[in-house]
């Protein structure tokens, strides 16, 4: 029976359930308040917000949207079908407010009962999750490293586990990284420090280079106090596809986060507990909002394709606001238990 470790979401201590216990759940109301009134009024203001949906791991209800926008709608991008809330204010609009609220119930995800024999599969069915991205190549040095890591491994599971272990052993969390990190894999192989998007971008690129379908998942942490400001609590995690079984959750970034928090060495028993847990599991204190890289929004943005879409994105008169700075962007995200 696996031992229980403590999980910290954005510096809050959170418990992980014992093996054999019912999956843990976390629930609350997340409110996003935007006030773009201080921005320039010389052009249209456009706002896109990642829009969470219910799935097998989370239930989203009581969605409420209000504001003084000229129009709003829920769309999705054409490649990943990632949903987004879009709002627009006319040129010259002075007051520009939007409130977006929803209830979220998220369950712990544990998928460790792997089959003894992997099922047959067609790689063409997973081509989207085997291709490179602008910052996540699968050739050159990435391919060389992936081949070295998975040498002698003949199954998808064995290859993914070898890459997971390599990432846990060789990447590290750099608290100075802005936001969740840019996920620039080539740079990260030279200097393997960053945050969650960085660490999982390396995992995903190495998996894809080794022929293992993999993808990042973008979301936001839930709090554990009654009221918590989670404006900077965005998180990225990952999963790979195991034929005959399905998508398998992993989070080596949280392994490295716990190591930094508790000043753990890679050989410490606590580190091994975290590694064992996050191979095939996610805790309940997170809400998924998006997948995909190099996102072309809908309606299409004037700026470049979005490297990731875990944060709100806005353009005022065609100028992109800094989504990593909620104080300048003027948004607040609040969790209420």
The pLDDT score that the predictor gives to residue 244 is: 95
Domain interval for residue 92:
25-106+295-336
Which of 283, 305, 321 is where one domain is finished? 283
DSSP state letter for 70? S
The CA distance from 219 to 291, in Å, is: 9
Q: In this structure, are 95 and 145 located in the same domain?
A: no
> Is there a domain that residue 184 lies in?
yes
Is residue 12 predicted with pLDDT exceeding 50? no
- Averaged pLDDT for residues 209-219: 98
Please list, in sequence order, all residues whose beta carbon lies within 8 angstroms of the beta carbon of residue 143, skipping any fewer than 6 positions away.
Answer: 209
Q: In this structure, are 56 and 156 located in the same domain?
A: no
Is residue 10 predicted with pLDDT exceeding 70? no
Is residue 294 predicted with pLDDT exceeding 50? yes
The pLDDT score that the predictor gives to residue 303 is: 87
> Is there a domain that residue 42 lies in?
yes
Provide the token pair at 102. 């929803």
The pLDDT score that the predictor gives to residue 7 is: 36
> 270 by DSSP, 3-state: which?
helix
> Is there a domain that residue 251 lies in?
yes
Q: In this structure, are 171 and 91 located in the same domain?
A: no
Question: 266-274: which pairs have CB atoms within 8 A and are 24 or more residues apart?
Answer: 266/168, 266/169, 270/5, 273/2, 273/3, 273/5, 274/5
For 151-201, write each residue's pLDDT tens digit: 999 999 999 999 999 999 999 999 999 999 999 999 999 999 999 999 999
The CA distance from 30 to 289, in Å, is: 12
Q: In this structure, are 159 and 244 located in the same domain?
A: yes
Least confident interval from 9-18, 43-52, 100-109, 325-334: 9-18
Is residue 13 predicted with pLDDT exceeding 50? no
The CA distance from 324 to 319, in Å, is: 15
Q: In this structure, are 126 and 262 located in the same domain?
A: yes
Report the number of distinct structural domains present in the chain: 2
Q: In this structure, are 271 and 130 located in the same domain?
A: yes
When pLDDT is cut at 50, 70 and 90, the band that residue 6 belongs to is: very low
Q: In this structure, are 225 and 315 located in the same domain?
A: no
Q: Are 293 and 161 in contact (CB under 8 A)?
A: no
Q: Report, in this order, helix, strand and coil percent for the chain, each rounded to 5.
A: 25, 35, 45
Please list, in sequence order, all residues whose beta carbon lies within 8 angstroms of the beta carbon of residue 22, skipping any fewer than 6 positions away.
Answer: none
The CA distance from 189 to 167, in Å, is: 10
Helices (H) and strands (E) in the chain, counts: 7, 20
Share of the chain above pLDDT 70, in %: 93
Average pLDDT of the chain is 94
Count of residues in the chain? 337
Q: Residue 227 half-sphere exposure, CB side, CA atoms within 13 Å?
A: 2
> Is there a domain that residue 17 lies in?
no
The CA distance from 18 to 5, in Å, is: 9
The CA distance from 164 to 177, in Å, is: 21
Q: In this structure, are 90 and 199 located in the same domain?
A: no
The CA distance from 70 to 275, in Å, is: 49
Q: In this structure, are 239 and 218 located in the same domain?
A: yes
pTM value? 0.93
- Averaged pLDDT for residues 35-61: 97
> Is there a domain that residue 250 lies in?
yes
The CA distance from 263 to 43, in Å, is: 49
> Is there a domain that residue 61 lies in?
yes
Is residue 224 predicted with pLDDT exceeding 80? yes
Helix axes 140-149, 196-209, angle to 10 degrees: 80
The pLDDT score that the predictor gives to residue 23 is: 76
Q: In this structure, are 72 and 174 located in the same domain?
A: no
Q: In this structure, are 46 and 83 located in the same domain?
A: yes
Alpha carbon 36 to its chain's center: 26
Q: Are 9 and 283 in contact (CB under 8 A)?
A: yes
The CA distance from 180 to 311, in Å, is: 10
CA dist 191 to 171, 174, 294, Å? 9, 10, 23
The CA distance from 91 to 178, in Å, is: 32
**For position 324, which CATH number holds?**
2.60.40.2250
Q: In this structure, are 180 and 329 located in the same domain?
A: no
Which of 254, 283, 312 is where one domain is finished? 283
Please list, in sequence order, all residues whose beta carbon lies within 8 angstroms of the beta carbon of residue 285, skipping any fewer than 6 positions away.
Answer: 7, 9, 14, 26, 106, 221, 222, 223, 224
Is residue 14 predicted with pLDDT exceeding 70? no
> Is there a domain that residue 8 lies in?
no
**For position 194, which CATH number holds?**
3.10.620.30
> Is there a domain that residue 279 lies in?
yes
């Amino acid at each position: 029976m696996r031992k229980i470790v403590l999980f910290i979401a954005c510096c809050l201590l959170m418990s992980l359930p014992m093996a054999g216990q019912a999956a843990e759940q976390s629930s609350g109301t997340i409110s996003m308040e935007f006030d773009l009134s201080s921005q320039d009024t010389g052009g249209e203001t456009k706002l896109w917000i990642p829009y969470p949906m219910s799935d097998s791991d989370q239930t989203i209800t009581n969605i409420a949207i209000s504001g003084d926008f000229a129009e709003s709608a829920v769309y999705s991008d054409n490649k990943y079908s990632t949903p987004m809330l879009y709002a627009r204010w006319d040129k010259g609009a002075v007051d520009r407010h939007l409130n977006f609220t929803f209830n979220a119930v998220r369950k712990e995800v544990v998928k460790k009962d792997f089959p003894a024999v992997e099922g047959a599969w067609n790689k063409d069915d997973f081509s989207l999750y085997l291709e490179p991205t602008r910052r996540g190549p699968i050739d050159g040095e990435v391919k060389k490293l992936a081949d070295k890591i998975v040498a002698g491994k003949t199954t998808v599971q064995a290859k993914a586990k070898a890459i997971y272990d390599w990432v846990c052993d060789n990447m590290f969390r750099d608290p100075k990284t802005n936001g969740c990190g840019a996920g620039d894999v080539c740079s990260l192989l030279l200097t393997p420090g960053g945050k969650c998007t960085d660490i999982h971008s390396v995992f995903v690129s190495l998996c894809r280079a080794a022929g293992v379908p993999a993808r990042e998942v973008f979301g936001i942490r839930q709090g554990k106090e009654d009221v918590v400001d989670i404006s900077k609590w965005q998180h990225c995690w990952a999963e790979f596809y195991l034929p005959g079984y399905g998508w398998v959750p992993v989070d080596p970034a949280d392994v490295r986060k716990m190591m930094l928090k508790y000043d753990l060495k890679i050989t410490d028993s606590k580190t091994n507990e975290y590694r064992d847990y996050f191979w095939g599991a996610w805790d309940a204190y997170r809400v998924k909002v998006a997948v995909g890289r190099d996102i072309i929004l809908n309606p299409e943005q004037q700026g470049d394709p979005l490297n990731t879409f875990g944060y709100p994105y806005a353009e005022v008169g065609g100028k992109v606001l800094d989504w990593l700075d909620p104080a300048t962007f003027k948004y607040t995200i609040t969790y209420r238990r």
